[in-house]
Amino acid sequence: MAESSTRTVERALVLLGAVCDAGSLTLADAAREAELSASTALRLLRTLEGTGFVRRDGLGTYRPGLRVVQLGAQALGHESLVSLAEPALERLVERTGESAYLSVPSHDGEGVYLAMREGTHSVRHASWVGRSIPLEGTAVGAVLAGAHPGAGFVVVRDGVEADVTAIAAPVSPGGRPVAALSVVVPSYRITEAEAGRIGALVAREATALLAHTDTRVAPTEDLTGEPA
């Protein structure tokens, strides 16, 4: 029994690796890559799909699921990912005065706030660390779901909360989003122009996050909108 269970796990991992390596595979191709019968591959793929490790698209091909993306972020180590993002979050707060967040996908098809730095304004967004966020209708959700905004960031007003504007950009090593940086602002104090300036800063930080580059903004650039 132990050998059989071990063999099943081994086959499932080989199958998952084949899907991840290819990006998308039909059942027949997945079975061939993993050297499995079609019936065995289908049984294992259904299990992987049920646990979020793979997903099946509209054409019936299998792709890596959100659980894989989440584990990709966790492979960096949640602590190391948070540590890596800390300077970026601090710079975002420093240059905007607003609360800044790091978010990652969760296995249940939503996102989760992993870390934040609280803004310096007297009226500011409180911590949502550990809270889930829907992918639909939110700025963070849009970029975690794979949106490719032309400007590099997404702005959503009244997404999760009324009178709140969120500006998010994807952290996408290899073109696949593993996390998002965002700034959350009370809507009354942000104009479209300010949203654009803050968005450019968030996108710059998100792009550079895994490259360990210095994205500090010149001291003369004012993105706070009002004194902290």
Q: What is the pLDDT of residues 64-93, one digit of tens each?
A: 887 776 666 555 555 577 888 999 999 999
Residue 140: which of 180, 89, 175 has the closest Cα?
180
**pLDDT per residue over 55-70, tens digit each?**
898 888 999 887 776 6
In the prediction, which pLDDT does 125 show? 65
Average pLDDT, the chain: 82
In the prediction, which pLDDT does 127 show? 62
pLDDT band at 168 (very low <50, low <70, confident <90, very high): very high
What percentage of residues in the chain have a pLDDT greater than 70? 81
d(CA 152, CA 138): 15
The position carrying tokens 């993306």 is 69
**pLDDT per residue over 180-228, tens digit each?**
999 999 999 999 999 999 999 999 999 988 665 334 333 333 333 433 3
**pLDDT per residue over 141-156, tens digit each?**
999 998 878 899 999 9
pLDDT band at 26 (very low <50, low <70, confident <90, very high): very high
pTM, full prediction: 0.60
In the prediction, which pLDDT does 2 show? 44
Please, what is the end-to-end C-alpha distance for the chain in angstroms? 64
